[in-house]
Amino acid sequence: MPEKLQGMGAIPGIAIGTIMKAGQALDGYLAAYQPGTVDEELEKLNEAVAEVADALENSVEQMRKAGHDEQANIMEAHMFLAQDPMLTDGMTDKIQEMGNAPAAVLSSAAESAKIFQAMDDEYLRERAADVLDVSKRIACKILGIKEPAIGDDMVVLCGYEVEPSVIAGVPDDKIAGVIMGQGSTTCHSVIIAKSRAIPTIVGIEHRTDELADGTRVILDGNKGLIIVEPDADVLKEYEAKLAQQRAAEARYAALRDLPAVTTDGVEVQLAANIGSPSDAENAAKYGNRGVGLFRSEFVFMGREDIPSEEMQFESYKKAVLACNGELCVIRTMDIGGDKPLPYLNIPHEDNPFLGYRAIRISLNRRDLFMPQLKAILRAGVYGRAAIMAPMVVSVDEILRLRAFVREAMQELEDDGKEYSTSVQLGIMVETPAAAVMTPIFAKYVDFFSIGTNDLVQYTLSVDRVNPNVGYLYNHFHPAVLQLIQRTIKSANDHSIWSGMCGEMASDPYAAVILMAMGIHELSMSAPSIPRVKEMLRSVTFEEAKEHLAKVMEMETGEQVLKYLHKALAH
């Protein structure tokens, strides 16, 4: 029997290929290295930093041309990091202390990474991997180590930590999957793999050491299963599954230009969640209708200061134009919690998810908020734009938001700049408080967008990335469904539209009951659109209402999940 390793499926899908070990140890190269004088070693560092930054810049350009914008954004952050004085100054000091450039680079990086790893904030903890990745590239450049050659076989990258740059560097037609020992599903390596739909399994710890270069493996990302050296029968079984996966992809491609409409004529608009204007252009190949969530914080990240109104305007304008007349919903900066920015000088908080974040920062920082609002209003001239505020919990916040928008319009008027007077204003419903208040909030806004990632987390008091309680995270929990139904009903009662932009929107089974509740729009990562569309096109509205009635009488999320999977099986 072939050996099986059980991990966590970070990215679904079947992959068959041979192991290519990543994250190679540099001990042998370091032992053989002959350092020069301190000045010579410092010169080697400067040359290596410049070469690595140039190589990263070229990679970013190629990735953007290929439409891989999410990984381009990450590699661009690495490019800035490679030239960051906070990193390079530490390396310079270490060289003067040790007299050995590559060893000093790695030693300095290890010290910096330890600082990040000791932080409470998960986002900052995971930046340690970025520091180590960039520093290793610099050390490899000094040591003269070239990238490993890729043979004819499809490869499965494998290591305890596979650096983001390694995944980004393997062409689409050569990479089958990724295996990592570490267990994070939100690190940059997984984000890059997800942007390219590469099946990925994490969390097998140091069992990655058991998988030697050239080992034949099967990855089942749906189950988190790795099959080592499969026999002929198992290989045949998974080749058939891989063929089914490719057939489904072809089937989804045929749905691209068709509407998400039930067999009896009820339509739900399927939009895309994006992080950059280029993402809006790339979403078109999946058949999106507009953008339901432009995460504007990506415009603010990887910088040393607040982006100007003009810079933001150009970014939002491109996204609005890419929507081709469909609505582009731009979320105002959702910073804080898991996404801090150094230049905002936000003080440390014991519980940032319940602290100073999102709209709470924006309403308190005119210098931050006004340029963004004015940029969105100006972008609205080029199509249909909407402003969406995150983490709103009170009427007072909505009234203050509206006052800011009026002030932004007046300033644009005074400056003689063209802007749209028809930009919609909405809020995210992502806390129990907001959901309960929707009958009142609906009087003051143009739309609701339900952010289920936080709504589920706050409603159930569950950190979904905590392995000890993650099993409790379930968007089908009756309490969550009650809040969602209340929100959608409040919108319909007040003749405004409702949407959803959390992970639940990409669940085809959830889409059926959300449609029955009366939701107008579902926004998701673009690759998820075809699966949801196929499901909605396979049912009638009357059937969906029957399923909803049964689901709302159930007492547990597990009951709901099992019922829907059985009732909607094709």
How far is Cα 246 from Cα 250, in angstroms, rounded to an integer? 6
Query: What are the strands of the beta sheet with 3-6, ordered from one edge?
Result: 3-6, 225-228, 216-220, 14-21, 155-159, 175-180, 200-202, 8-11
Name the active-site residue from 140, 475, 501, 547: 501
> Would you call 560 helix, strand, or coil by DSSP?
helix
Q: Which two tokens stand for residue 299?
A: 């415009």
Instruction: Say whether 499 sits in a helix, a strand or coil.
Output: strand
- Contact at 8 Å (CB) between 137 and 74? no
Distance in angstroms (rounded) separating the CA atoms of residues 211 and 479: 44
Helices and strands per DSSP (H, E), number in the chain: 23, 16
Using a CB cutoff of 8 Å and minimum separation of 24, what contacts does 84-92 make? 86/112, 87/112, 87/131, 87/134, 87/135, 88/45, 88/49, 91/45, 91/135, 91/138, 92/42, 92/45
Catalytic residue, chosen from 68, 140, 187, 188, is 188
501 an active-site residue?
Answer: yes
Q: Which helix (H) or strand (E) holds 272?
A: strand 269-274
d(CA 124, CA 336): 11
The residue whose two tokens read 């079947």 is: 14
Q: Say if CB 346 and CB 281 are below 8 A apart.
A: no
Cβ neighbours, 10 Å, residue 547: 19
Specify whether the CB–CB gap between 363 and 400 falls below 8 A. yes
User: In the structure encoding, which two tokens stand for residue 105, read together?
Assistant: 């680079």
DSSP structural state of residue 16: E
* Residue 140 is a catalytic residue: no
Three-state secondary-structure class, residue 123: helix
Which of helix, strand or coil describes residue 3?
A: strand
Q: State the catalytic residues.
A: 188, 501
